[in-house]
Chains A and B, each alone.
Chain A
Amino acid sequence: MTSPVIELSHVTFRFNRHPVLDDVTLAIREGEFHAIIGPNGGGKTTVLKIMLGLLQPQAGSVRILGGSVRDNRRYLGYVPQFRTFDFRYPISVREMVLSGRLGHMGTKLRYGDEDHAAAEGALETMDITDIADREIADISGGQRQRAIIARALVGYPRVLLLDEPTVYVDTPTATHFYDILEDLRKEMTIVLITHDVGALSPEITTVSCLNHRIFTHDAREITEEMIGAVYPCPVDLIAHGVPHRVFRRHDEMAEEEVITEEEEEEEVVDR
């Protein structure tokens, strides 16, 4: 087994003495498509910010590619939550994507040829070359989302970390978005944070359920009980079609499930 690209061991984080993460140990391995799911307030964004060195845990350690967070976080491609952005900032899509190169320029003051080439490549990958000169204020939510991912891609990341990427986009955009992730997944490790378990991709290899404590599972082994352990109300989730769309279907798993009529209908629609 390959060594982890991101490794958290026994991480504890408290905010104003309120425990957010309790003894969290997590290994993200090369090539995984790792989903971290859990209820709001369960510590998902906190885990991500600890991986990125934006928050310091009170106990435990974090390593990226075997080294320190500060040395190696530039190999991570961070896709922050939508709401952290001020989309009225006067900046073009191209300039925003280019700014992702600043972490790889050392003391160089101006963007060079390789930086422009990386930006054009990322714009093309995300299929937004045609809107590159538009302002971020004038484009749609889905286009903004792709611009934010393009900014993360210009640094040629080893791991792409996405925080609730589908919250502010409509369903067709979200579906298209998961197609993009499935393409990217061939080139890099992906960590996806979401509370929207209903919309997860079947490509996901590993699922961690986080609600202050963490449980990691191979995506094929996940059971309803495991999700029930982190969510207060598992029934809601079943209604969203969790076992049907998130995870590969296994006959032995299906037998354990209590399938309601509503679910059966949904399954038919899926097919």
Chain B
Amino acid sequence: MILEALGYEFFRNALAAGFLASIACGCIGSFIVVKRMVSLAGGISHAAFGGIGLGYYLGVDPILGATIFSLATAGIITHFRNQAHQHLDTLVAAVWSSGMALGILFIYLAPGFAPDLFSYLFGNILLVPFENLVLMALLVCIILITVTIFYDRFVAVTFDEEYAIVMNLPARAIMLALIGLTALTVVMLIQVVGVILVIALLSLPAAIAREYSSSMKTMILYATLLGALFTTSGICFSYILDVPSGGAIILIAAASYFLVILGRDIRQHFAERKE
């Protein structure tokens, strides 16, 4: 059945989109998880919803609106984090709620019939057009090149930002780059798994990978492979069982995550009993 499905272009595109998303999430998600900025990805993805609404209102591509909104949000959060010394979670709550509110407002005001918002909230990887694959591949290249070139500096800044500042590293620029790339990854993922489920694909593969990694390099590699495994199996399940793909991908990822941490707890429990 799956072999037969591979004959369809939409199915091949879906697998390719899942794979590209996994690379982006493996790289960016790993840094987001170790820097404890998962909520930031949540904030940006919901703020992007405002951009989708604006796109509909102005009659332009909603993804363009989402890109602008998420990058602006990244800039706003970075600025206030540095200048006003606000806590990250407070800032995230502010952009999260205002982004959603703007989205709802713009879509209400938009002329004509109500657009299919559901596909932006939950996404549909089986509907990713070829042009979007090209854009995704471009973003993956940008992420891979940036992270490869500045790997040691990304590690230094996410491990100990204060020490990076004392060493006169461009810590703020590196954080802005990381948050900016997060924003672009979020926009890309909105089409694949939707606004609401972006956080899961950025955080869950990386969180599982962390349990088995001794360095950021291995964590990124494992997170990418896990992401590919989750998206591929999610797409196949969704095709075979005829259920929404976004939900299937995330449920597989979340189930794996809980199994892994449960397994670790049980192992630790028995290790302690042996002693």
Residues of A within 8 A of B (CB): 52-54, 70, 73-74, 76, 78, 80, 84-86, 88-92, 95-96, 98-100, 102-103, 109-111, 135, 151, 155
B167–A74 contact, CB under 8 A?
yes
11 contacts between A and B (CB under 8 A): A80-B160, A85-B160, A86-B159, A90-B214, A90-B219, A91-B159, A92-B214, A98-B152, A99-B156, A102-B156, A102-B164
A109–B149 contact, CB under 8 A?
yes
Q: Which residues of B contact A89 (CB under 8 A)?
A: 34, 158-159
Smallest Cβ-Cβ distance to A161: which chain B residue: B166
* Distance of A91 Cα from B154 Cα, bound (Å): 12
Within the complex, the shortest CB–CB distance from A143 to chain B, in Å, comes to 16
A73–B155 contact, CB under 8 A?
no
Smallest Cβ-Cβ distance to B156: which chain A residue: A99
Q: Which residues of B contact A53 (CB under 8 A)?
A: 165-166
Residues of B within 8 A of A (CB): 34, 36, 149-150, 152-153, 155-156, 158-160, 162-169, 210, 213-216, 218-219
A96-B159, A100-B163 given; 17 more Cβ-contact pairs under 8 Å: A53-B166, A70-B168, A78-B163, A86-B34, A89-B158, A90-B210, A90-B213, A90-B215, A92-B215, A95-B155, A98-B152, A100-B167, A102-B152, A102-B156, A103-B168, A109-B149, A135-B214
Q: Top 4 A-B pairs ranked by shortest CB distance? A: A103-B167, A99-B156, A90-B213, A52-B166
A103–B169 contact, CB under 8 A?
yes
A54–B162 contact, CB under 8 A?
yes
Within the complex, the shortest CB–CB distance from B150 to chain A, in Å, comes to 7
Most buried by A among B34, B164, B214: B214
* Distance of A96 Cα from B169 Cα, bound (Å): 15
Q: Which residues of A contact B167 (CB under 8 A)?
A: 74, 100, 102-103, 155
Q: Which residues of A contact B36 (CB under 8 A)?
A: 86
* Distance of A135 Cα from B150 Cα, bound (Å): 22
Within the complex, the shortest CB–CB distance from B139 to chain A, in Å, comes to 22
Within the complex, the shortest CB–CB distance from A148 to chain B, in Å, comes to 9
Within the complex, the shortest CB–CB distance from B39 to chain A, in Å, comes to 16
A84–B162 contact, CB under 8 A?
yes
Q: Which residues of B contact A86 (CB under 8 A)?
A: 34, 36, 159
A84–B160 contact, CB under 8 A?
yes
Within the complex, the shortest CB–CB distance from A50 to chain B, in Å, comes to 12
Most buried by A among B152, B165, B216, B218: B152
* Distance of A151 Cα from B163 Cα, bound (Å): 10
Q: Which residues of B contact A52 (CB under 8 A)?
A: 166
Contacts A84-B160, A90-B213 given; indicate if A99 touches B155 (C-beta within 8 A): yes
* Distance of A207 Cα from B164 Cα, bound (Å): 29
Q: Which residues of B contact A98 (CB under 8 A)?
A: 152
B215–A95 contact, CB under 8 A?
yes
Smallest Cβ-Cβ distance to B164: which chain A residue: A102
* Distance of A84 Cα from B156 Cα, bound (Å): 14
Most buried by A among B155, B213, B218: B155
Q: Which residues of B contact A76 (CB under 8 A)?
A: 166
Most buried by B among A54, A95, A135: A95
Q: Which residues of B contact A103 (CB under 8 A)?
A: 166-169
A73–B166 contact, CB under 8 A?
yes
Contacts A90-B216, A111-B152 given; indicate if A102 touches B169 (C-beta within 8 A): yes
* Distance of A161 Cα from B166 Cα, bound (Å): 12
Most buried by A among B158, B163, B213, B218: B163
Smallest Cβ-Cβ distance to A90: which chain B residue: B213
B216–A91 contact, CB under 8 A?
yes
Within the complex, the shortest CB–CB distance from A174 to chain B, in Å, comes to 23
Q: Which residues of A contact B149 (CB under 8 A)?
A: 109
* Distance of A111 Cα from B152 Cα, bound (Å): 9
* Distance of A135 Cα from B219 Cα, bound (Å): 13
Q: Which residues of A contact B213 (CB under 8 A)?
A: 90
* Distance of A96 Cα from B158 Cα, bound (Å): 12
Contacts A90-B210, A91-B215, A92-B214 given; indicate if A80 touches B163 (C-beta within 8 A): yes
* Distance of A74 Cα from B152 Cα, bound (Å): 18
* Distance of A89 Cα from B158 Cα, bound (Å): 9
Q: Which residues of B contact A78 (CB under 8 A)?
A: 163, 166
Smallest Cβ-Cβ distance to B159: which chain A residue: A89
Within the complex, the shortest CB–CB distance from B152 to chain A, in Å, comes to 6
Within the complex, the shortest CB–CB distance from A58 to chain B, in Å, comes to 15
Smallest Cβ-Cβ distance to B219: which chain A residue: A90
Most buried by A among B168, B169, B210, B216: B168
Within the complex, the shortest CB–CB distance from B258 to chain A, in Å, comes to 19
* Distance of A40 Cα from B217 Cα, bound (Å): 40
Within the complex, the shortest CB–CB distance from A40 to chain B, in Å, comes to 20
* Distance of A78 Cα from B177 Cα, bound (Å): 26
* Distance of A96 Cα from B156 Cα, bound (Å): 8
Within the complex, the shortest CB–CB distance from B41 to chain A, in Å, comes to 18
* Distance of A80 Cα from B164 Cα, bound (Å): 12
Q: Which residues of A contact B156 (CB under 8 A)?
A: 99, 102
